[in-house]
Amino acid sequence: MTAYATLGLLSREEEYTAVEVQERAHEFLRYFYWAPALSHIRRELNRLDDLGFVAAREVKQGRVRRTLKYHVTPAGEQALKEWAEGPGAEPTVVKNSVLLRLWLGRRAGDSQLVIDALIDQIRQVSQDCDELAASLEQTDRILASQREKFEAGEFADTRAYEAAVARNRWHHSVMSYCLRDYQHNLHNSQQLLGELQDLAAIIRHSTSTPAETTAE
């Protein structure tokens, strides 16, 4: 999966370093899959290079350093196409460590410490929603730019323009789904927070000593 994800972040038109591929993964993949660490990206790029699915070119980076820039090869595009068009869908694996902590939180001594993890997650999801919305606005600007180039005659023909726009709209549609999913997650988490705060108050009251109850 990581190999296909890495391959999908590359293109024939542009070259990217391993760091740039990792940045693109953080920008897009983290919303619906996983943003691999740089070490994973480097390992997959080396493996894809051995398979002939990507090609690398050494370029200067500053006065002394050198780095590799990668682009996908026709063989890599074919491999990606065959996988994307393959039959069936793999089961979705959900690994939400915060929900696991919340589920176990009913046995915790301090419910508030458990709830704090949910509050942190809500802050993060809210931030992710803002960043994803900004990314969609960037795609809107790209589409507007493509329209301007088409009107200026910079595309070979109408079909080339329509294909380029359709690909960017495809990306926009998938990321819009992710934004709706994150917004639903945010609403769902906020509802869960209210419910758990009410239940935590009941637990605190029921487990407090008579003296503490009187003081309340």
How far apart CA 37 and CA 23 sit, in angstroms, is 10
Give a yes or no: residue 146 inside a domain.
Answer: yes
Q: Are residues 111 and 179 in the same domain?
A: yes
Per-residue pLDDT of the chain (216 residues; tens, 9 = 90+): 888 999 999 988 889 999 999 999 999 888 988 888 999 999 999 999 999 999 999 988 777 778 899 999 999 999 999 998 888 777 888 888 899 999 988 887 788 888 999 999 999 999 999 999 999 999 999 999 999 999 999 888 999 999 999 999 999 999 999 999 999 999 999 999 999 999 988 888 887 665 554 454
What is the model's pLDDT at position 212? 52
Closest residue by Cα to residue 133 from 179, 172, 181, 184: 179
Final residue in a domain of this structure, among 43, 62, 84:
84
Backbone angles phi, psi at 54, to 5 degrees: -130, 160
Query: How far is the CA of 75 from the CAs of 50, 60, 87, 162, in angstroms?
Result: 12, 27, 20, 25
Q: Are residues 102 and 192 in the same domain?
A: yes
Number of domains in the chain: 2
Say if pTM beats, i.e. exceeds, 0.75: yes
What is the model's pLDDT at position 110? 85
Closest residue by Cα to residue 20 from 81, 74, 65, 71: 71
Identify the domain containing residue 20 by its residue range. Answer: 2-84
What is the model's pLDDT at position 33? 86
Residue 75 belongs to a domain with what CATH number?
A: 1.10.10.10
Q: Are residues 23 and 56 in the same domain?
A: yes
Give a yes or no: residue 164 inside a domain.
Answer: yes
